[in-house]
Structure formats: structure tokens, C-alpha cells
Structure 1
Amino acid sequence: MEKTISTTSTIVASQTQAGTNAIADAQAKSRPQSTLRTYFAMLVQVSRWHLIGVIVVTVLFSLSEGIGIALLLPTLQVAGFNMAGQGEAGKYATRLANAFVSIGLHPTLILLLGVFVTLVGARTVLGQIQSVWMYKVQQDVEHHLRRRLYHAIADANWLFVCRSRATDFTHALTHEIYRIGNGTNLALVFTGEVVLGMLYMAIAFALSAGMTALVLISGAMLTFVFRGRTHAIEEQGEEVSTTNKSLYAATIEHLQSLKAAKTYGAEELNFSIFSALSDEVVRANVDGARQQAIAATWFELGSVMILAVVLYVSIRVLVVPPASILILLLLFARVMPRIMTGQHHYRAFVNSLPSFANLLNIEARCAAAAEPAAHPHDRMSLTRELAAEHISFTYSEGRVAAVKDLSLVIPAGKVVALVGPSGAGKSTIADILMGLVLPDSGTLRLDGRPVGPEGVRGWRDRIGYVAPDTFLFHDTIRANLKWARPDASEDEMLAALRQASVLDFVLGLKDGLDTVVGDRGMMVSQGERQRLALARAFLRRPSMLILDEATNSLDSENEGRVLDAIESRRGELTVVLIAHRLATIRWADLIYVVEGGKVVESGDWSSLSARRDGRFRALWEAQSLTI
């Protein structure tokens, strides 16, 4: 099947990228703020109740730890430590002791230790719940984005899909969404660390407002100083996303072309290309880790310096009592590691945001190219004729038109053939007849009714299509048939197999309809794949069947079986045959000779072959040895 463009072509990918730079630049100007806002809006929309649950459990988890720290002062007092004259720490211990008395409990060492153990146990349970719910939110986000992006890709028009690189879609649906999900988990962990830090700061304020204020002001200054480092980490995240996408694309393309690579002896060339891309991924990831490590190192050093200054000022200037200093040191000793890990988690989350921006970019481009939704009652059938009137079509600006001023008629119930040399535009014409691509000019009419963007889905529901490169899923024959029509009964599947002359083959298999055909149908022969594909097309009960060079790679016996199957439906089914070999279309009711994207001759076999100076006769003579 000739195609003006290939979905995996690097050239097309470059052209597509050039066309989308404006979108990417516009998004880049507003990042990270707009991306962050969009991300959190999506998070709330997708997992609102689980998110609320995570926040509640996180608060309870933090409270259990904070209360455990708060019990330290009355525990010291009960243990015999003199809290008199210890300023706010002594008053705080007395207030907690009075609180126990007010509920009828005398604060003894055993009671306080028992409460502490209970709090630790509750904290353990809450931690388990928190971990599971965070993972649930992460999976909700991944599931939502995966479905949303896949739906956008599937809804995009075929021309847009052809102009795009398929591996970019695959990379976004897998690796990029995984990075976003992991970033979501990091954001939730960071939120928990912020809540716990705020609780610790509240306790610290109760003990020494001056010392705590000094810590917070210094911490804010430290964060301000490191804002440039955070931006650098985000840019590094964009590079990680880009290099991983290139490696992913190369992986898919190289594995798909492995047979050709072996045939051409290009294994080492492919290896060198793949190795270079892998080197780039390693370099980008290591650079990202280096940026994270440098930021963590300087933040830790800055934190230690701040703590030293705060301690000096608290002891020499603010004259904070020793007991308060002791508890504050304990608080800061616990909160500082959390601040550092929180910073690490925040940086890692920021590093994952470019993946979300990339996904939004792809989704926006797909949405801009989306086909109109099909009307539920707008199912079309071919009862009189399908006509193309002065249709022209070009795949992209600056290229030669694939179809030029094309006019032809497909009568209902007839077998119509499109013949011509490779690159003549036959497959593009088939795409236009199916509504996969819309003409730049001219009109496609079905029984006199124009088939516009809003009607193409309803028309395609009535079409059966068999491509030259038949695709079967790595699944059972039954599943492959039901893919075309999920509500088909077993009797209907058997009837379709019989019509395609492949029923005896299927029934002769050990597992019959439940036989797995292998990756792309490689467990069955080419002829059997083609006939299974034909059965799948018949199962749709189509109004029109298009065979796009579907018999070119078959031997004469299998080709004859496929053509016999189509002949058995003559008169009740409109058939469009696209072929190079003229022997396969001898029995067609109407033949169109296509060249340069237009019809140059038409008629039946007898009339066309009788024109000694005609284009069909030239093709006939060129293939005279095989006719």
C-alpha cells in the first residue's frame, strides 16, 4: 500500500515538531505556574475524596507524632526534672498536667508512657492507611491521564495521526504518565511533611516565639536563595523527558526493523545509534541527580549554619531557658531532616512537571485535530452510489498533491477496481472514500448526500476494510473477530469465517476460535491472516468493502480463495479492489485507472484492454507474462 507519509518517519516527525513549536513556546512562557495550577486542578477533579482522606489521615498522623513530642515535657516533670523557672517550658508542662487532671487522670509516668505507646501504635496504623491512600491517588491520576490521552489520540483525525510520530504517543502513554504518577506521590508526601512541620513550628512557638520566628525567617531566606536552583532542576526535568522520548522512539523503531537490519547487516549501525541515545539518557539523568544532590548539600549546610546562629542568638540574646532550648533542639532535630527531605521531594516533583506539560501539549494538539462526534442515529448506508466530485487533497503544505481533481462513481452492489502504478494515489483515494481524510476541495457524496466532517464516523461504521499489512492482536481468533463487532454471536462469527473461506482452517485447530494467533498474527500464515481479516470485515456487515492490495503478498491458491469469498457476495455488497496485479481485477464490473492522483481511464476489462493506445493496455502489456 503506497503512503505519501509514514507514521514512523523521522522526516515527518521533524516537520510535525516544527509545526507545533508555537504551542510549545506558548506553554513554556507560562510554566511552571500555569502547569502547576492545571496539575492541582486535575488532581482535585480526579481524586477529590481520596485526596481529602489523605489530608485527614496526614493531619492525624502528624498530630500523633506532635502530641508524642508534646508529652515529653510533662513526662520529664513527672520523672523528677524540676521545671520551675524554665519559662514557657515550665508553664507548658503545668498546663498539660492540669489538662490530664481536668479529665480525671493523674499524670503518672506509667500513664504518660502508656499514652505515648498508644500514640505510636496509632501513628503506625495511620501511616499504613496514608501510604495505601497516597498510592491510590497516584494510580487514579495515572489511570485518568492514560484514558484521557488515549481518547484524545483515538479521536484525532487520521491525517493528524499520520503526521505525528507514533512513538511519541506511546512514550507519553507509558513513561511520561508514570513520571507524573510518581510526582503525584512525591507531592502528597511533601504535603504531609509540610503539615508535620507546621505542627512542630506551632509547638516551638509556644515554647519560644522569638527563636521560632528567627528560624522561620532564616528558612524563608534560604528558600529564596535556592529558587534559581529549583528552576534549574525543572529545566533538567525537561531534558530528561526529551532524551527518554528519543530513546523510547528508537527502541520501538529498531525492534520493528530488526529483520531488515539483519538482512542489510546494519546491526552495528543500529547499535551505535541506540548506544548514543542511551548515553544521552544516562547523562541527562545523572545531571538531574547531580543537580538534586548539589541543592540538597547546600540546603543542608545552610540549615546547619542557620541553626547555629539561632542557637547563639537564643542563648546570648533572647536568654531562652535550658529546658526550652532542649525541647526546641529536639523539635528542630526532628523537623530539619523533614525539611530537607521535603525540599528533595519538592524538587523531584518539580522535575516531573515537564512530563505533565508534554502530555498537555500532546492532548491539546489531538483535541485541535479531533473529528466531530458521531451522531448516534447518523449511520449511513450505500444504496445507490458513492461519488467523488472534483476532489483534490495534499498531505501537507508544500508537497505535491496526492489527489488532483478526482471524479469517480462507485455504484452500489458492484465490484469496482482501482489500478495504477505505485504512488499513483490509489490508497489515498481509498482513505478519502472511507472518510479517513477529508479533501481540500471537492465533495464526497453518498447517495447524493455530502459526507462532511460530522458524517464520516457514521459512514465508517458501514465499511469493511482489509489492508495489505493485516494486523491481528496477540489474542484468540474469537477476540480478533469480536474486536470488529463486540456483540457478534458465535454463529455469526462462524458464518463470517465461512464466507471468507477460512472456517475449515479454524475448526481444524486444536482450540478452534480460542486459538491464540501470536504477535501481529505471526502464528498463522500470511494467507490465513488475510482471510481472517476478511472474515473480520464481513462480520461488520458492511455496506462497502475495501480491499487495499490485500492479496498482493499471497500465492495464487490463497489469492483465489480470498477472491472466491468476495465473489460469493457479488450483488449484495459493494466492493472496491485496489490492486497492482491486473489478474486480480479481471472480474470487476468497473475499473478506474489512476495515475498522478487522478482517473485517466475507466471502463470494464474488455473495453479498456481493447484500447491499444490506452494506459490500461500499457499496464496489461507490461504484465502480459502473468495475466
Structure 2
Amino acid sequence: MNAIRKIGNLFSLFRQAFGEYAWSIALMAALNFLSGLLEGIGVTAIIPLFSFIGGATKANDTISLAIAELFRFLHLPYTAKFLLFFMVALFLSKAVFLFFSQQITAKIMADFEERTRSMLLRITFAARWPFLSSQKVGHLDQMLTTEVVASSSILYYLSGAALVSANLIIYSILVLNISTIIALLAFISGACIFFVFLPLLTKTKIVSIDMVRENKRLAHFANEHTIGAKTIKAMHLENQTLERGVTLLSLMRGLYLKTAFLRNISASLLHLASVFFVIGLFAFLYKTSAFEFASFAVVVYALNKVITNVQYAQNHAHTISSQIPYLQSVLSYRKEAETAAERDAGVLPFAFGKELLFRDVDFTYQRGEPALSSILLSIKKGEMVGLIGPSGSGKTTIVDLLLRLIEPEKGEIVLDGTPISHVRLKDWRARVGYMSQDVFLLNDTIENNIRFYSASVTKSDIENAAHAANILAFIQSLPDGFKTMVGERGVFLSVGQRQRIALSRVLARKPDVLILDEATSSLDTESETLIHESIERLHGEVTLIVIAHRLSTIMNADKVFVLEKGKIVEEGKPGVLLKQEDSRFAKFYKQQS
């Protein structure tokens, strides 16, 4: 019952992964089966051919008689010459069927890989932010490359399984046609071998599950430490980092050797068993009076093909068993990402004329710590608002709520009296700009980094945005101007230049609301001054929400909200709060001074 359940689960898995290719797989299997059938009939024709060549008694086995009957039906001379032509035609037909089967297999595999990768990218980008933020660096990369390729290879081996099955059936019939006893012995031996080697398949799958896990760990290690390469070199930790990487590689080497051992030991033992079986068979038949060289040669060839195909079946089974964990990983991720899909119930367009209001908003993360509690916060159109507070006070959570990356647990955020959840998400994010302290740049030109996939952004928009961000003069001073490559993560630029290009990117989209998340926290004085000038020019034209570490960034804000432990503990104009010596804002200012 356990074996039946496992087979049922396996078919369910394949149906889930490859169900849309059912007809193509059926055609592929049919062509492979026909290919094996034609080969088997062609080989069987050797028996009557030997009879013609040796002048011996005509073969009277069932298949040979059927071939003779076919010749009579087609009104063809039953001679050695025409029999040879018949065999050539069979093997040529087999080659044609096999070619088309392989082409269909290649097409299915290519389509599966393209569709699966597209699906994985689509559901990843469509997932909610909490799900995305929980994913480890390198895991998606590993899935798009190694795991999808391993999954598609199952199709190749399933295609081979149809050919192997056809060959096993045809050559088994061939042996049965010549000798029932030999066929029975071969069947019993094959069944015994199958059940003896069955535990090796289970072991192969277990080792492969470990391989999937370690492949992801290695991908995460490589991506994580490539990003942190500067820190590693600066701290002279190359050897320690390498040691950890070598440990992972050594573990993967061990798992690979285990998989290879399990596959090779079964192949070697099967080959050894087949040799002993053929030798014993020859010794048995040679002593009998019914021994015929032609029949025995065909039997040996057929048995060899049976054993070879059993070996192929074993190899296919081991390979499929080793690839199943990769397919399960892909399907598991698909299920998780689809469950975490971002929902948009909004139907209204974005329209900001008066006020953006947090009304008694609470939010708690999964770890159970309240991030925000009873937040009441009003932002008028065109205002510049500052958010300050120690780390963990709730500033970033407010930003994530404004970007609609997360949703309030209690209370609501309203825009001109309308809950923002009623506004179309696409419209909302098109009108609310965001600049993070962690600048993300493509390894591309400055122009493409400012345009950033937005076809509606014109060259004029890019230049105007660069001017507003105080970076236009610098770009124009470069030999290639806007066509200058910025390098991986903007490595060819200074931190301040990267920040201003990132600001240009947001401004090119002409947002109504601009959120600046500690945009000047890691800048030098000159770069900070340039960013301040950009912010001042935007003041009044765009509603600005600024998370500030340096209070100088928000001294000209219309009002400031001070947060502590998820609550607003103080609000007011910076100048007024600064005059109140016991205010938290004044204390922050003195600490920085």
C-alpha cells in the first residue's frame, strides 16, 4: 500500500508540473514506443535471415512466421534480399520516429523552462513585501537556473522511459517467442534485481533532497559575500570567508559522490548479474539437442538488450529520483508565492487635494512586537513633514504603510477622506515616490538608471529630474554624459552621486508625494548640501515625508513627528520645538550638536 501511495503521489506531482504538456508527452511516448517496436521487429528478422543464408530449416517461431505472412500479404518475394530491404526500412523508420520524438522532447523541455522561469519571476514580483523580505539572497537565482533545469530534465528521462519500456516489451516478446523457459527465467531474475535495488532509489532521493538544500546554501553564500566583498577585504577576512565556502563545497562534493556511488553500484551489479545469467544460459542450452546457433544468437542479443534496457531503466529511475526534490522545491515555492500574492481591491484613481491622514493606526509584525500603536498623523498637501526617532521607533513601518507594502492591523489611512485601500494600487505607487537610504542601481547607463523601465519617461524628463536633483552638471561633465555606465551597484560613482541619481529616478516620474528615507544619513557635507537644495526646491510643489537621522535635513519642515516605541510622543514645527529645552526634539538636536 505504501508503494502504491508513493506511485500515486509521483503521478500527482508530474501532473501538477507537466499537465499542460500531456498531449505532447503522449505523442512523444507513442513515437518512442513505435521506434522501439520497429527496432524489435527488425532484430527478429535476423532469425529467418540466418535461415536463408545458412540454408537451414526455415524458422518456425511465431514472429518469423508473422513476417513471412506479411510478405505474402504484400505480394513480396520472401527472399534474403527482400528481407534485408525490409530490415533496412524498419531501422530507417525507427530513426525517423526517434528523431521526431527527440525534437518534441527538446521543445517540451525548452517551453517548460521558459514558462516556469517566467512564472517564477511573475509570482515573485507579484508577491507581498513581507514574503519577499523573508527570502534569502541567491535562492531565486538557484531556482531559476539549477532547479528549473533539473526539473525539465525529468521530461527527458520520461521520454527515454517510453523507449526503454517499448524495448523491454519487444525484446521480452522476442525471447518468449524463441523460448518460454528462458523468458520466464529472465523475468524472475529481472524482478528480483528490481526489488533488490529499490532501496537504492529511496536513498538517492534522500541524498538529492540534501543536494537541493546545500545548493541553495551555496548560492546564498556566494551572493551574500559578493555583496559584502568590500567589507571582507577591508577586515582582511578573505581566508576565513574562503574557509566557510570550502566547507560548503566539500559537503556538496560528498553528496555528489554519494549520488554517483548509488547510481554506479546498481549499474555495476546489474551488469555482473547479466553476464552470469548469459553464461549460465549458454551452458544450459549447449547441452540440449535443440541448440541452434541462429536462435541462440538472437536470444543472447535480445537478452542483452533486455538487460541493457533494465540498466537504462535503473539509471533513469535513479536520475528521476534525484531530480524530483528540485521539482518539489519549484512547486513548493510556486505555492507559497501564489498564496502570498499581493491583493488590490482598489477601484478609485489617485486624487490628492487636501490631506493624508493616519487615523488610530496599529501594526504588529509576526514576531509579536507592536511596531505602531494608535498613530494619529496628518499631512497636508504640499507640506514637508519630518519623522525622527531612535532605531525601532516605527519610522520605517510608517513608510511601508504609506507605500502599501503592508496594511494596518487596526485603524486606517485615508486620502482626502477616502481609505487608501480603495485607491488602485498601480495608481498609488505611480504617484507616491520613494527614495531609500540603500540606493539600488543597475549595472547600466545613468540614463537607464533614471528611466528605470518606465517607457513614459522622456529624455526631457530625465534631464529635468537630474537638474532638480543637482546632478545634471556632473553628468554633463562626463565624456559619455547620460550614457556613462555606473558599474555594479553604482561602484563607479560616489555615495552622494548615487543618491542624487536615485533621487532623479523618483523625480522623473513626477510624484505627488515623495518619501525620503534617511537620504542624507551617509553623505559628505557637499553632497548633503546638494540634496538639501533639491529638497528645498521641491518644498511646496511636492508633499515631502522625510525620515531624518540628521536633523539639519528637516529644520525647514512644516512639522516634525517624534516617535518612540511605536508611538508619536511629540509633534510641532522644528523651530518651536527647538526653543522648548525639555522637548525630545531639542534633546536630539543637542546630542547631534
Is 2:327 the counterpart of 1:343? no
Shift of 1:454: 8.9
Deviations 1:518-577 (A, max 9, x none): 211222332222222122212333231111111222233333333333333333321111
Whole-angstrom distance in 2 between the partners of 1:31 and 1:247: 34
Tell me which residue corresponds to 1:20. none
1:531-542 to 2 correspondences below 5 Å? 531-542=500-511
Q: Which amino acid in structure 1 is aligned with residue 36 of structure 2?
A: S
Whole-angstrom distance in 2 between the partners of 1:113 and 1:441: 85
Tell me which residue corresponds to 1:239. 210
Q: Which amino acid in structure 2 is aligned with residue 241 of structure 1?
A: V
Tell me which residue corresponds to 1:324. 295
Tell me which residue corresponds to 1:599. 568
Tell me which residue corresponds to 1:388. 358
| Shift in alpha-carbon separation, 1:269–1:144, aligned structure 2, 3 A | same
Contact 1:484–1:536 (8 Å) recurs in 2: no
Contact 2:348–2:423 (8 Å) recurs in 1: no
Is 2:143 the counterpart of 1:169? no
Whole-angstrom distance in 1 between the partners of 2:226 and 2:514: 33
| Shift in alpha-carbon separation, 1:618–1:492, aligned structure 2, 3 A | same
Shift of 1:344: 0.8
Shift of 1:242: 1.6
Is 2:46 the counterpart of 1:72? yes
Shift of 1:163: 2.8
Contact 1:418–1:576 (8 Å) recurs in 2: yes
Contact 1:413–1:573 (8 Å) recurs in 2: yes
Q: Which amino acid in structure 1 is aligned with residue 545 of structure 2?
A: V
For 1:166, what is the secondary structure of its paired residue? coil
Is 2:324 the counterpart of 1:353? yes
| Shift in alpha-carbon separation, 1:373–1:187, aligned structure 2, 3 A | farther
Tell me which residue corresponds to 2:178. 207
Alignment TM-score, normalising by the size of structure 2: 0.90
For 2:353, what is the secondary structure of its paired residue? coil
The count of corresponding residues between Structure 1 and Structure 2 is 592
Contact 2:344–2:425 (8 Å) recurs in 1: no
Whole-angstrom distance in 1 between the partners of 2:289 and 2:451: 79
Name which of 225, 231, 235 aligns with 1:260: 231
Whole-angstrom distance in 2 between the partners of 1:537 and 1:598: 29
Contact 1:601–1:615 (8 Å) recurs in 2: yes
Tell me which residue corresponds to 1:83. 57
Alignment TM-score, normalising by the size of structure 1: 0.86
Q: Which amino acid in structure 1 is aligned with residue 141 of structure 2?
A: T
Whole-angstrom distance in 2 between the partners of 1:454 and 1:303: 72
| Shift in alpha-carbon separation, 1:448–1:189, aligned structure 2, 3 A | same
Whole-angstrom distance in 1 between the partners of 2:447 and 2:4: 50
Is 2:244 the counterpart of 1:273? yes
Contact 1:183–1:349 (8 Å) recurs in 2: yes
Tell me which residue corresponds to 2:32. 58
Shift of 1:456: 4.9
Tell me which residue corresponds to 1:475. 444
Q: Which amino acid in structure 2 is aligned with residue 139 of structure 1?
A: A
For 2:370, what is the secondary structure of its paired residue? coil
Tell me which residue corresponds to 1:14. none
1:548-627 to 2 correspondences below 5 Å? 548-624=517-593
| Shift in alpha-carbon separation, 1:29–1:162, aligned structure 2, 3 A | farther
Name which of 21, 25, 36 aligns with 2:10: 36
Shift of 1:266: 2.0
Tell me which residue corresponds to 1:286. 257
Deviations 1:33-82 (A, max 9, x none): 46522432145434345434432432343234223213212322332341
For 1:546, what is the secondary structure of its paired residue? strand
Shift of 1:619: 1.1
Contact 1:484–1:539 (8 Å) recurs in 2: no
Whole-angstrom distance in 2 between the partners of 1:461 and 1:32: 49
Whole-angstrom distance in 2 between the partners of 1:33 and 1:551: 60
- Give identity over the alignment, percent: 29
Tell me which residue corresponds to 1:11. none
1:89-104 to 2 correspondences below 5 Å? 89-90=60-61, 92-104=63-75
1:168-567 to 2 correspondences below 5 Å? 168-304=139-275, 323-373=294-344, 377-398=347-368, 400-452=369-421, 456=425, 458-567=427-536
Shift of 1:513: 3.8
Contact 2:432–2:512 (8 Å) recurs in 1: yes
Cα RMSD for the two superposed structures: 3.1
Contact 1:379–1:461 (8 Å) recurs in 2: no
Tell me which residue corresponds to 1:24. none
Whole-angstrom distance in 2 between the partners of 1:560 and 1:30: 72
Q: Which amino acid in structure 2 is aligned with residue 62 of structure 1?
A: G
Whole-angstrom distance in 1 between the partners of 2:455 and 2:9: 39
Is 2:115 the counterpart of 1:144? yes
| Shift in alpha-carbon separation, 1:55–1:422, aligned structure 2, 3 A | same
Which stretch of the first structure deviates more once superposed, 210-219 or 417-426? 210-219
Shift of 1:281: 0.8
Contact 2:384–2:546 (8 Å) recurs in 1: yes
Which stretch of the first structure deviates more once superposed, 388-397 or 547-556? 388-397
Deviations 1:435-469 (A, max 9, x none): 11223333222222233499655533322111111
Whole-angstrom distance in 2 between the partners of 1:184 and 1:36: 13
Whole-angstrom distance in 1 between the partners of 2:498 and 2:9: 46
Whole-angstrom distance in 2 between the partners of 1:373 and 1:435: 10
Contact 1:466–1:533 (8 Å) recurs in 2: yes
Whole-angstrom distance in 1 between the partners of 2:88 and 2:234: 70
Whole-angstrom distance in 1 between the partners of 2:506 and 2:592: 30
| Shift in alpha-carbon separation, 1:364–1:29, aligned structure 2, 3 A | farther
Whole-angstrom distance in 1 between the partners of 2:419 and 2:290: 88
| Shift in alpha-carbon separation, 1:90–1:220, aligned structure 2, 3 A | closer
| Shift in alpha-carbon separation, 1:524–1:263, aligned structure 2, 3 A | closer
Shift of 1:179: 2.0
Gaps of 5+ in 1: 1-27
